[in-house]
Chains A and B, each alone.
Chain A
Amino acid sequence: MSEMSKIVRTIAAIVFPFIMIYGLYVIAHGHLTPGGGFQGGAIVASACALLLVAYGSMWTMRRIGEKRLSVFESIGAFFFIALALLGLFFGAVFFNNFLAGSSFLFGDIPMVGSNTGDMNTGGVLPLMNFAVGIKVVAGLFVIILVMAYASNHMEKKRGEKQG
């Protein structure tokens, strides 16, 4: 019995894409509104956790698999540090925000003072947000997934021992 009731499952399925798009919104707007890679990542990971709790860890493990998530995590971390290293190569030093003000893709300087916010500002910040976002989603979800799976496994073993 690793699924919850039908109502919960249906609602989870309905809510999941909304939470996810909201989390991605938070990631993408990290440099404009409260939020950022980590917060958005935590939200998306929670969305995945919602699926996990509604459908059970076996189902989720079959769907996603912990290996693939690990790879995603590595990729996110790699992108993050690669962006920092690009700062060394294109800018002057490690972690240089080499895109800020370069009027390339994300390189505009916003109007100083209160404004409504443009997406294409902030230099490497949005990119870093995405990198951290990928990493955090994968990381936090792997933690929950693996722990849930292990607890499931142990429960099963305990049941076998007793019965």
Chain B
Amino acid sequence: MTSIEYIIDHSPALIIAIPLLGAFLTPLVSRLGSRIRNVFVIIVAMLTAFLVFLLASDVFSDGIRTYIFGSQDLTTPVVRILFEVDGISIFMAIISVLLSLLAAIYSWSFMKKYDGLDKYYTLLLLMTAGMLGMELTGDMFNFFVFLEITSISSCALIAFWTHKGEAVEAGFKYIVVSAVGALFVLFAVALLYGQYNALNIATLANTIQYSFLDKIAFVLLITALGMKAGLVPMHMWLPDSYSQAPSSVTLILVGATQASLYGVFRMCFTLYGGVFADGILSSMTVGWFIVVLALVTILIGVTMAIIQTDFKRLIAYAAVAELGYMFLGIGVGLTAMGTSYGKTALDGGVFHILNDALDVGLLFLVAGSIYYATKERDLDRMGGLARNMRYTSMFFIIGLLAVAGMPPMNGFASKLLIYESTYQLSPILSIIAILSSILLLAVFVKVFHSVFMGPELPRFRDVQEVPRSMLLAMGIIALIIIVIGLIPGIVVENIVQPAANSLVNHLDYISHVISIGGV
């Protein structure tokens, strides 16, 4: 066995272990000096990213991978924790690891002026580990544990600027919401455990009976994870925390929100997939519920975004609207389970996860750059910055076009998949999706005007372009956006469709555990 194969074999464990190790060592390393610490953190993030890409290439070529912690042999029944990495898991992992790597790079200059940075970087790595754990795990309780890691670390990071009351308030709201949500997830896990004496997702999915208690567990899981993913009307924590966190943190928060969204995907399609597939519960019921909530999410997100005057809050509401598109994808995929357009909608939803992460992430980074340069977030007090910050404004235009789904950016590709499939369920869905997309465009044109356009304001005369590390992070995202926008077909075929297929084929997920001796 060559060493690279050895690494690939153990990469699911290492993907979690390395950021954790990095996080535990960061307080020690930071005693050596701030530059060494930054380099250390970036190296850890890059190593993690490298492992994720290795694993991804393996998963996309060879199918589902299972990693059992503690012992090689899987006994019947499954007693040990196992990681089960399929298409959607690794798809989400790629997004998370990309975002955290970019955040680490972006933080180099962005956070330079503040104190408490060793803890900041520790929490950054912990958050990465938490998201990756949520996405790769195949065990319900482990999912809960990583959910908590993610939410606690992100809460602390949201409240990073403690001298501002708003940041603390946002952090408190976030922690209340996520604590309640996580507790209900735990309650649902306990309900499932009490009935089937199993914690493994595959085992549970194999034996689930859909009794009344299972219904309650389902409701709790979907609602709690939906809240953590920002489903309207449980989205109100989202603009608060997104807007008050430092921008580099907001970038990862996008990933954390999407990890919760992944939870919804996993619960709907894998854990309760058999229930839907066998028709015990009509997927219409749940699907339409999610579809309606998704439409409300899109509409409220975008209409609230239009009237905001705080830059980051506005983007946060736009992010809510974008989340609605993903939920629309899930909902239609669930409602029309088995049809081709349902599959297309699911593809679109999954693809949009990637695009949303990039687009909204880029916009948040731009907002952070503006804040870095001008110490200003109020749209009413800005103007004329396109003169001094040419690169930033270019990146903003790219982000604007992408988030509004204008061709040829990546947002258009995924939205096209959603528009051209959801109309078959009901034309209204498509119509509202299209309309909201235009509204999003309007929202960002407003931002574009009030931040970058207009006469040069005297107080911004000395504004400089932001340092190189920030430009680098934004540039990487912009590049990825354009590349994905130009070759959407390749991306959809090679990454998105395997991910969506792994959601639909819940039997594969189950049988993979059976085939290695479990259940």
Residues of A that sit less than 8 Å from B by CB: 70-71, 73-75, 77-78, 81, 84-85, 87-88, 92-97
Residue of B nearest to A80 (CB): B24
- Whether A74 pairs with B70 at a CB distance below 8 angstroms is no
Tell whether A93 pairs with B25 under 8 Å between CB atoms, given A88-B10, A88-B13. Answer: no
Partner of B24, one of A81, A92, A96: A81
Using Cβ atoms and an 8 Å threshold, which residues of chain B touch A70? Answer: 27
Q: A93 with B27: in contact, given A81-B17, A81-B21 (CB under 8 Å)?
A: no
Q: Are A74 and B28 touching (Cβ within 8 A)?
A: yes
How far, in angstroms, from A138 to B13 measured CA to CA in the complex?
A: 26
Q: List 20 A-B contacts (CB under 8 A).
A: A70-B27, A73-B27, A74-B25, A74-B28, A78-B21, A78-B24, A81-B17, A87-B70, A88-B10, A88-B13, A93-B10, A93-B67, A93-B68, A93-B70, A93-B71, A94-B14, A94-B67, A95-B69, A96-B70, A96-B71
Given A81-B20, A81-B21, A94:B13 Cβ within 8 A: yes
Complex Cα gap A71–B118 (Å): 12
Whether A78 lies near B69 (C-beta < 8 A) is: no
Q: Does B72 contact A (CB under 8 A)?
A: yes
User: Which residues in B have their C-beta under 8 angstroms from that of A87?
Assistant: 70
Cα of A77 to Cα of B21 in the assembled complex, Å: 8
Q: Measured between C-beta atoms, what is the minimum distance from B362 to chain A in Å?
A: 34
Q: Which residues of B come within 8 Å of A, CB atoms?
A: 10, 13-14, 17, 20-21, 24-25, 27-28, 67-72
**B67 to chain A: which residues have CB within 8 Å?**
93-94
A residues near B24, Cβ cutoff 8 Å: 74, 77-78, 81
**Contact A74 B13, beta carbon cutoff 8 Å:** no
Partner of A95, one of B20, B25, B28, B70: B70
Least Cβ–Cβ distance between B483 and chain A, in angstroms: 35
| Number of A-B residue pairs at CB separation under 8 A | 48
A75 contacts across to B, CB distance below 8 A: 28
Separation of A81 and B22 alpha carbons in the complex (Å): 11
A92 B17 Cβ-Cβ under 8 A: no
Contact present for A92 and B72 (CB under 8 Å): yes
- Within 8 Å by CB of A94, from B10, B25, B27, B28, lies B10
Is the Cβ of B72 less than 8 Å from the Cβ of A93? yes
**Please, how many angstroms separate the alpha-carbon atoms of A72 and B282 in the complex?**
54
Asked if B27 and A74 sit within 8 Å, CB to CB, the answer is yes
Q: Tell me the bound Cα distance from A70 to B23 in angstroms.
A: 13
B28–A71 touching, CB < 8 Å: yes
Q: Is the CB of A94 within 8 A of B17?
A: yes
Q: Given the known inter-chain contacts A93-B70, A95-B69, A96-B71, please indicate yes or no for A71 contacting B17, CB distance below 8 A.
A: no
Q: Which residue of A lies closest to B68 (CB)?
A: A93
What chain A residues lie within 8 Å of B72 (beta carbons)? Answer: 92-93
**Shortest distance from the beta carbon of A76 to any chain B beta carbon, whole Å:** 9
Tell me whether A78 and B25 are in contact (CB under 8 A): yes
Tell me the bound Cα distance from A94 to B67 in angstroms: 9
Chain B nearest CB from A38 CB (Å) reads: 14
Question: A84 to B71, alpha carbons, bound, how many Å?
Answer: 12
8 interchain residue pairs of minimum CB distance = A94-B13, A77-B24, A95-B69, A95-B70, A74-B27, A78-B24, A92-B72, A74-B24
Distance of A96 Cα from B17 Cα, bound (Å): 14
Q: Beyond the given A93-B68, A93-B71, A97-B71, could you list 13 further A-B residue pairs with CB under 8 A, ordered by the A residue number?
A: A70-B27, A71-B27, A77-B24, A78-B28, A81-B17, A81-B24, A87-B70, A92-B72, A93-B10, A93-B69, A93-B72, A94-B14, A94-B17
B70 and A97 within 8 A (CB): yes
Q: How far is the CA of A135 from the CA of B468 in the complex (A)?
A: 38
Closest to A75 in B: B28
The smallest beta-carbon distance between A142 and chain B, in angstroms, is 11
Assembly CA distance A97 to B10 (angstroms): 16
Report the minimal beta-carbon distance from B497 to chain A, rounded to whole angstroms: 31
Question: Smallest distance from the beta carbon of B126 to chain A beta carbons, Å?
Answer: 11
Nearest Cβ on chain B to A29's Cβ, whole angstroms: 22
B14 proximity list for chain A (CB < 8 A): 94
User: How far is it, in angstroms, between the C-alpha of A93 and the C-alpha of B12 when the chains are bound?
Assistant: 11
